[in-house]
Amino acid sequence: MKYNTLGTTDLKVSEICLGTMTYGEQNSEKEGHEQLNYAIEHGVNFIDTAEMYSVPGRKETAHSTEKIIGSWLGKRKDRDKVIIGTKITGPSEGITWIRKPLDFSPASIKTALNGSLKRLQTDYIDLYQLHWPERKANFFGKRSYIHDANDPWVDNIYEVLNTLNDQIKAGKIRHIGISNETPYGVLRYLEESAKNGLPRVVSIQNPYSLLNRTFEVGLAEMAIKQKIGLLAYSPLAFGLLTGKYHQKIDKPSDRLNLYPDKMERYRSEQCYNATARYLEIAQANNMSLTQMALAYINTRPFLTSNIIGATTIEQLKENISSTEYTISEEMEKAIEAVQNEIPNPAP
């Protein structure tokens, strides 16, 4: 396992991060613990979760993932060896049962953070992330920014950073990160940190896969030059980039089948066609599409950690094994050819 420095910190995080949003929905507590144990035994030291997980968000399963991780973490004697990242939920009309109000006000940050600490059975969070912006922007499948003059958001970046700084001073947070952000958002956080001597964001968790390389347009340069590394989520595009749907070996319990009304960004003809091309490249090079799709992400110079998720141990083994594969120059040229013909079909 390779380890990368998390932003400007002294933390070394594994190139593969274990995503856990299925715990409490598709995975039981026992299965979650099995995955956590296997990942740790195979060099993964970075675990990602969120207060709103499991996914899809439901009132009946709200906070379930953190609780499952907590029942595992609370029994261990090596808390200092495990790097835990969690997130505070941003505004959303569909999941108001998480917390009211869903914002990043000082009171909300304190409430959300204390709730996560209790569920995770820990005294501190290594990486506390803002799950998505409070303002209206182009994230979650939106290609373009459409300005809304009626957006009620008033710039509160200073207040957010100041509140998080208080929690860092209290020992409850070590470092902070952002998620589903745009170059404008990154710029504002950097500006306020520099101007006011406030904590600096050390990571950005955004979607990145063979079907969605939009991060490269405006954020890759920022990530490299400002040392705000990418934590890539949905690297297998909700399972589409495993190739199982094309090979007709998918099951009713697989995500795109289980949640037919979710993740529309992965259901287009362009996504299907691009995936078919990528599958051909992988097969021609004696790799599974899963291994190729993840190995490609692992090669990106702006990557800090690749967040993989699995519902079975077999899937987890294959995902982690991606660190053993390399992308040849010939494969990269073939991948670029597909990207040029069918660019970013799943924004």
Q: Are 89 and 51 in contact (CB under 8 A)?
A: yes
Identity (one letter) of the amino acid at 344? Answer: N
Alpha-carbon distances of 126 from 49, 63, 123, rounded to whole Å: 12, 18, 10
Q: What is the CA radius of gyration of the chain?
A: 19
Q: Residue 62 CB: number of other CB atoms within 10 A?
A: 20
Which residue shows structure tokens 């950690």? 305
Exactly one of 53, 208, 245, 325 is catalytic; name it. Answer: 53
**DSSP labels, 98-127:** S-SS-S--HHHHHHHHHHHHHHHT-S-EEE
Active site residue 325: no
Please list, in sequence order, all residues whose beta carbon lies within 8 angstroms of the beta carbon of residue 156, skipping any fewer than 6 positions away: 104, 105, 134
Please list, in sequence order, all residues whose beta carbon lies within 8 angstroms of the beta carbon of residue 221, skipping any fewer than 6 positions away: none
CA dihedral 132, 137, 142, 148 (to 10 degrees): 140
Q: Are 347 and 214 in contact (CB under 8 A)?
A: yes
Please list, in sequence order, all residues whose beta carbon lies within 8 angstroms of the beta carbon of residue 177, skipping any fewer than 6 positions away: 7, 85, 127, 128, 129, 130, 201, 202, 203, 204, 205, 231
**What one-character DSSP code corresponds to residue 81?**
G
Which residue shows structure tokens 């990160």? 177
Instruction: Decide: residue 249, CB within 10 A, 0-12 exposed, 13-18 middle, 19+ buried.
Output: exposed
Provide the annotated active-site residues.
Answer: 53
